[in-house]
Structure 1
Amino acid sequence: MNRWLLLATAIVLEVAGTLALRAAVDHPAWYALVAVGYIGAFVALACVLRLGMGVGVAYGIWGACGVALTAVLATVFFGEPLTAPMGLGIALVIGGVLVVELGSQAAHRRGPEAGA
């Protein structure tokens, strides 16, 4: 399976688990989805790493997308606020991950002996 598709799966599972955690505050039956979401997310993330994606890149993208999606979906599903400073913070996190990914690609093109 494509490592990017697996990474997207890990992100979706982690966000589902986190949103289920919020839902479980009022309805404890959601804890089952919390467990499935988090376990599935970590298994998918481990598979991404096994397929050769760098841990910094994979974890950065996973974390940034998880933060952004969770914040937006918590607004949609739970009516939680999404303020301008929060939006700026999300943009900064995503921007930071993009810089890490670009740096990773540049290092990969130079070869392993160039990095230290």
Structure 2
Amino acid sequence: MNGRFLLVAAIIAEVVGTLALRASVDHSAWIAVVVVGYIAAFTLLGLTLRAGMSISVVYGIWGACGTVLVAFLGMVVFHESLSGTALVGISVIVAGVVLIETGTGHSKPAKPEDVAV
């Protein structure tokens, strides 16, 4: 399966889980969605790595996209606010991921048997 598709699905699952975590503050029934969201996110991350994407790129994109989406959706859904400083921080996160993505060679990751423990 396509690694980028799996990564997008992992990001969506993580964002859903995190938003449900915030919603569980008001209604404990959302805890089930939190658990399912995070299990799905980490499973999809593992599948993304298995598809051949490097961990630095996968984790950077997953973390940054999740942070940005949760911050903006928190504003929309939960009426939270973002300061100018927070917006600068989000911009720095996005710039960092772009730098990681453009600075990473897209070589195949090492096979598990090639990694020294």
2:30 maps to what in 1?
30
Q: Which amino acid aligns with 1:82?
A: L
Secondary structure of the equivalent of 1:82? Answer: coil
Are positions 1:97 and 2:97 aligned together?
A: yes
> 1: CA distance between counterparts of 2:37 and 2:16?
6
Q: Gaps spanning 5+ residues in structure 1: where? A: none
How many residue pairs get aligned? The number is: 108
Which structure shows the bigger proportion of residues in helix conformation? 1
Structure 2 gaps of 5+ residues are 111-117
TM-score by length of 2: 0.88
| Equivalent residue number for residue 85 of structure 1 | 85
Written as runs of structure 1 = structure 2, the 5 A alignment for 1:32-111 is: 32-105=32-105, 108=107
Give the TM-score normalised by the residue count of structure 1: 0.89
Asked if 1:9 corresponds to 2:25, the answer is no
* Divergent runs of 4+, >3 A: none
Q: What's 2:114 paired with?
A: none
**RMSD of aligned Cα (Å):** 1.3
Deviation, 1:2, is 1.1
1:82 deviates by 1.4
Q: Which amino acid aligns with 1:103?
A: G
